[in-house]
Structure 1
């Protein structure tokens, strides 16, 4: 969940670019934003984009595995894969997309002022936000979990951590809700707050804490990058849904994006979508069953 969500304020800070760099190395970069053309009343964004010849997407560059610069400086991640799928579906060319890099607080303003056509930036669906933008169907269910060292840890899994009661210390990035979040899963655990993601990672590696609370997507990505070093304790909580967002009032554009996403999850582009899930999260998606569509069963 991203940093503008309550009660999940600053959650993405639990695993940001700093910790990613500490774990595997990486670089950050900026792309020059360009304004999208304002929407003509009565004409769908879908038609404007096709006439323009490129899709303009608002996203970020500092939150693996969603959107970040890899070691070669290329912008990559699950959100980037989805944006390129939209471009491919529009133009039969995944490169016809312009990325506008922005902070979390710019996501809604960039949409309502037509600076971007769509935001694909790990955006959590909330009722408050749904009054300002229109969300697509969700493409990921996020939550928090507990990361353990794979070798030499005092406690092997969540059940062992919970059984140890106040004898365990759980670390995380400092914010006002950290103790509340941790105590939802481990009511008796001690809580250690760190000033940066790097510091929390160092504490876990040095065994000064028993586990680190992280977004589950970030945990899965880090376990992909450092096989055998870390393990998921096996318990997740505080669920929230990620979706893309578009400017309200354009059902044609929203319906088209939803069609692309749905058929990526259930139909013609499933192989592409499944490959992204495998690459970024280590998740093997089951192939949708043929016959009657299970989503309507």
Structure 2
């Protein structure tokens, strides 16, 4: 009987080693995988300035691209250790769930339905609709447009919600729908429209590209939150990406985030207040 004890102890030791190895393997997640690989793989688009597009030098550029590079910098202290996967909007979630990308950063609106399929990060931008005015036009502000009532014509990209959307801000305005964004700007430039209703980000980008020609009416509505997304189930990876984005907007990487915001939207962000963290007020 005693002669079998060493064999039993050896067997138990082997089982314990195997169990430890399995446990260690189970605790390793996406963060460990990305660090071991030596680069971050991010899904984004390539056709929507100022978010993600091919610039004149043939390189992928835009605010989404810069936000993703902030995460790469947090991982490797090198923003260029990143690979972008060009994807369509309807591939944003499938490419995460099939592990084709580590994260998606592609002006993705947070919704309850999507949050059941992926984990959203902290928001990095809040989108909304704005009104673009010609600098030499009759109206100079939202108050002017609203006071003019039914005399005002608004150009907007055609969709089933377009008229309802515009009427939320200007109930009496005439709404003219066009097939492309270029046409809504042409209507404004020609005087057929008194203002163009478009995304605030597109409005800021367009003004930034054409200094002195246009005005922001100063009113925004229809808010929606943009966030990056990761695959469900890996809290450590989500926590890391959240930390990187949070510190870009409020801490050590604020200069990089603010420079990108100024470049693409023409807006100078105030630096975070020193002292008590403002996000907890």
Common topology (TM > 0.5) = yes
1:259 is aligned, of 234, 243, 265, to 243
SS at structure 1 position matched to 2:107: strand
1:134 and 2:119 equivalent?
yes
1:215 is aligned, of 172, 189, 199, to 199
What is the Cα-based RMSD across aligned positions, in Å?
1.2
The Cα shift of 1:119 comes to: 0.3
SS at structure 1 position matched to 2:112: coil
1:273 and 2:273 equivalent?
no
1:201 and 2:185 equivalent?
yes
SS at structure 2 position matched to 1:124: coil
Residue 74 of structure 2 corresponds to which residue in structure 1?
Answer: 89
Residue 92 of structure 2 corresponds to which residue in structure 1?
Answer: 107
Checking the alignment, whether the CA contact within 8 Å between 2:140 and 2:215 is kept in structure 1 is no
Residue 11 of structure 2 corresponds to which residue in structure 1?
Answer: none
1:76 is aligned, of 36, 61, 65, to 61
SS at structure 1 position matched to 2:193: coil
Number of matched pairs: 257
Checking the alignment, whether the CA contact within 8 Å between 2:154 and 2:173 is kept in structure 1 is yes
Distance 2:204 2:182 in 1: 17
Residue 6 of structure 1 corresponds to which residue in structure 2?
Answer: none
**Structure with the higher helix share, 1 or 2:** 2
Residue 53 of structure 1 corresponds to which residue in structure 2?
Answer: 38
Distance 1:244 1:154 in 2: 40
Residue 118 of structure 1 corresponds to which residue in structure 2?
Answer: 103
SS at structure 2 position matched to 1:231: strand
Distance 1:77 1:113 in 2: 26
Checking the alignment, whether the CA contact within 8 Å between 2:121 and 2:229 is kept in structure 1 is yes
1:239 and 2:206 equivalent?
no
The Cα shift of 1:290 comes to: 1.9
Larger Rg: 2
The Cα shift of 1:95 comes to: 1.3
Distance 2:26 2:43 in 1: 22
Distance 2:102 2:150 in 1: 49
Residue 8 of structure 1 corresponds to which residue in structure 2?
Answer: none
Provide, for residues 43-65 of structure 1, a one-character-per-residue CA deviation record: whole Å limited to 9, x for no partner.
31111011111111000111111
Residue 15 of structure 2 corresponds to which residue in structure 1?
Answer: none
The Cα shift of 1:292 comes to: 2.3
2:173 is aligned, of 189, 199, 202, to 189
Provide, for residues 242-286 of structure 1, a one-character-per-residue CA deviation record: whole Å limited to 9, x for no partner.
110000000000000000011111111111111111111122211
**TM-score, normalised via structure 2 length:** 0.89
Distance 2:93 2:101 in 1: 10
Residue 145 of structure 1 corresponds to which residue in structure 2?
Answer: 130
Deviating beyond 4 angstroms after TM superposition, the runs of 4 or more aligned structure 1 residues are: none
**TM-score, normalised via structure 1 length:** 0.84
Residue 295 of structure 1 corresponds to which residue in structure 2?
Answer: 279
1:66 and 2:51 equivalent?
yes
1:250 and 2:234 equivalent?
yes
1:157 is aligned, of 123, 127, 141, to 141
